[in-house]
């Protein structure tokens, strides 16, 4: 993604003053924090160095732009303001809360953003891990991207007759299906999936197109009542 022209020019200058902006939309509270002790206004909202309820942003790990074969994740650490805040922010009800992280630059003389910040990450809260010691309490949040939902299992909602008829009663397209094999690749360099040949009522033909009745496709062999062959697509 191309950087905003003003932001790009500022970053190429001498000693730019950069900042991170983090927005977390919890069910009962919106966190708007920036790294450091300052205050930044962006899109009509004020990002402070400390959230009045939940504390201070400590660090952000894993923010990078790349092409890969895994769903991207990021993590950030928080220093909670109090024990009630610690218990509240780690509540399971906060899982799935929207998280946005921007990278920008600030004009030191005015405290205003230069150009438009770059959106580094858009995702949702996944898990929270608490590390408490005598000197500090740190909460580490793992944030997953929207692509993470593609890995969620939906057992019982795959190609089976019971689930199919629960959605379309009386439709028996899966009633006599005993086995379907399909590869499900992930990532930009994954192989294209295959669907194995399925035969109903006879032997598969050897031609280039399905045959109906007795034919097995163009120039094919002796088929049955219906031959279906699906190849790589």
Do residues 225 and 188 lie in contact, with contact meaning Cβ atoms separated by under 8 Å? no
- Top-confidence residue, 77 or 37: 77
| DSSP strand pairing (50-51 vs 45-48) | unpaired
- Top-confidence residue, 63 or 113: 113
At 63, list the tokens: 């923010």
Phi, psi (5° rounding) for residue 224? -100, -145
pLDDT of residue 134: 81
Task: Match 């946005």 to its residue by tokens.
Answer: 100
Contacts of 119 (CB under 8 A, 6+ apart): 1, 100, 101, 102
pLDDT of residue 64: 53
pLDDT of residue 139: 86
- Top-confidence residue, 38 or 150: 38
The answer to whether residue 215 scores a pLDDT higher than 90 is no
The answer to whether residue 5 scores a pLDDT higher than 90 is yes
Mean pLDDT computed over every residue of the chain: 75
Confidence of residue 73 (pLDDT cuts 50, 70, 90): confident
Phi, psi (5° rounding) for residue 15? 50, 60
CB atoms within 10 A of CB 85: 18
Give the residue among 57, 47, 46, 48 at the shortest CA–CA distance from 80. 57
Do residues 91 and 84 lie in contact, with contact meaning Cβ atoms separated by under 8 Å? no
The answer to whether residue 188 scores a pLDDT higher than 70 is no
pLDDT of residue 36: 82
The answer to whether residue 216 scores a pLDDT higher than 50 is no
Give the global pTM. 0.61
| Alpha helices for the chain (secondary structure H) | 5-11, 83-89, 161-167
Q: Which residues pair with 87 in a beta bridge?
A: none
How many Å apart are CA 151 and CA 89, to the nearest integer? 25
pLDDT digits (tens, 9 = 90+) for 77-89: 988 877 777 777 7
Confidence of residue 207 (pLDDT cuts 50, 70, 90): very low
The answer to whether residue 96 scores a pLDDT higher than 50 is yes
pLDDT digits (tens, 9 = 90+) for 107-159: 999 999 999 999 988 888 888 888 888 888 888 888 988 666 655 556 555 66
């Amino acid at each position: 993604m191309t950087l905003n022209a003003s932001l790009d020019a500022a970053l190429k200058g001498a000693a730019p003053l950069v900042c991170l902006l983090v927005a977390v939309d919890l069910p009962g509270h919106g966190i708007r924090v920036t790294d450091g002790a300052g205050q930044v206004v962006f899109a009509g909202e004020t990002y402070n160095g400390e959230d009045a309820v939940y504390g201070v942003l400590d660090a952000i790990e894993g923010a990078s732009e790349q092409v890969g074969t895994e769903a991207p994740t990021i993590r950030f650490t928080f220093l909670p303001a109090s024990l009630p805040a610690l218990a509240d922010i780690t509540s399971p009800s906060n899982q799935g809360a929207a998280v946005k992280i921007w990278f920008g630059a600030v004009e030191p003389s005015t405290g205003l953003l230069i150009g438009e910040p770059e959106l580094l990450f858009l995702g949702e809260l996944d898990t929270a891990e608490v590390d408490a010691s005598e000197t500090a309490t740190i909460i580490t949040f793992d944030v997953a991207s929207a692509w993470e939902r593609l890995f969620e299992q939906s057992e019982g909602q795959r190609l089976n007759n019971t689930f199919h008829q629960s959605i379309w009663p009386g439709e028996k397209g899966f009633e006599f299906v005993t086995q379907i094999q399909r590869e499900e690749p992930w990532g930009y360099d994954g192989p294209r999936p295959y669907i194995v040949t399925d035969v109903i009522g006879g032997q598969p033909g050897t031609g280039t197109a399905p045959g109906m009745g007795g034919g097995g496709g163009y120039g094919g062999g002796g088929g049955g009542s219906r031959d279906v062959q699906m190849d790589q697509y």
